[in-house]
Structure 1
Amino acid sequence: MADDFMKTYLHDYLKDVRQAVLAKVDGLSEYDARRPLTMTGTNLLGLIKHLAIWEARYFGAVFDRPFPEPLPRWDVESERLATMWATEHESRADVIDRYRRVREHSDATIDALALDAPGHVEWWPDPEVKLFDVLVHMLAETSRHAGHADILREEVDGAVGADAESMARKRHDADFWAARRATIEQVARAADSAGNGVNR
């Protein structure tokens, strides 16, 4: 009984976080959905592609329930790095549709197996795992990338929130946020000048 509750709780949380990631490309141009926004090239559509590929692997082959579409190799660096961005031949719809198919496949695995069902993650130092381990790992990984997506989307157009409705709702104007940013900048400079918490 407790295991069923825990599995449902973790699974529902994963479903919510997945939706939050998808919402971050709503209303964006192709360019803004794909453009690199960090030194390493992190971008919104690439995060979705990356999450789809790794979720397909974790809830697929790890439990001997392989996702029925080809996946790039995890042990070849060039293929692994290519999971972080969409090519010009991969449409946004293609990337999002694949994530939806992966989610359906993953959900079927999660629904079919008990939390203590065994799996094998060959790229982990301790490869013998349970569904619980992988569910927690994918929830943490998806949440981590959802946080990246929050920051990237804010950088693109200032939209914040976990869904399209909250991102569209403007609570404050640009002047409010400029003033807030200036205040935080001033405090950061004052703290630096004062030497608070210095590691020099």
Structure 2
Amino acid sequence: MTLALDAAAQDLLFREARTANTFTDEPVSDEQVQAIYDLVKYAPTSMNQQPLRVVLVRSPEARQRLVQHLGDGNKAKTAAAPLVAILAADNEFHEELPALFPHFPQAKDAFFSERPAREASAAFNGALQVGYFIIGVRAAGLAAGPMTGYDAEGINKEFFGDGEHSVLAVVNIGKPGEDAWYPRSPRLEYDEVVTTV
């Protein structure tokens, strides 16, 4: 093997990990979520932008506010999940850049003075961080159920009324329940994906 991770870690994070559709009622603590974040915050983003923002949906009232904006196939499992996280991109991430990217203090104005450029960069780097977050959930011994089947405009208005955030994904989190998995879908092989020039 040429990977530094042992086989058990590879299985936990990738080979045996699946998108969960049902969960047990075992709660997910704030300490578990902080441990997840404290691990994945070290993963790279362009110029250390870190645009990801996370809203933990815990109260029944907030859960109902979220569920009303989900596609029909996502409503029941989200209503029943132990924890739901709304992952969003902060389109005003550049305000933090002087502290987060001290090697180039003028980066805030040099690259991100125009809103469309900020939104594009926040969406791309936020999507990277969504992937890291899912891997972090798996590293905590939990299952993630990421979803994009929702009314984005509705969620943005409901939870981010300031207009500065854009939802990227909604993720159910917990211990997998009964019949949690759909059959494993096929993956493309190396030769179908990788070319050398």
* Shorter-chain TM-score range: 0.3 to 0.5
Q: By percentage of residues, which structure has more strand?
A: 2
Normalising by the residue count of structure 2, what TM-score does the alignment of the two structures yield? 0.33
Greater CA radius of gyration, 1 or 2?
Answer: 1
Normalising by the residue count of structure 1, what TM-score does the alignment of the two structures yield? 0.32
Q: By percentage of residues, which structure has more helix?
A: 1
* More contact order relative to length (CA 8 Å, sep ≥ 6): 2
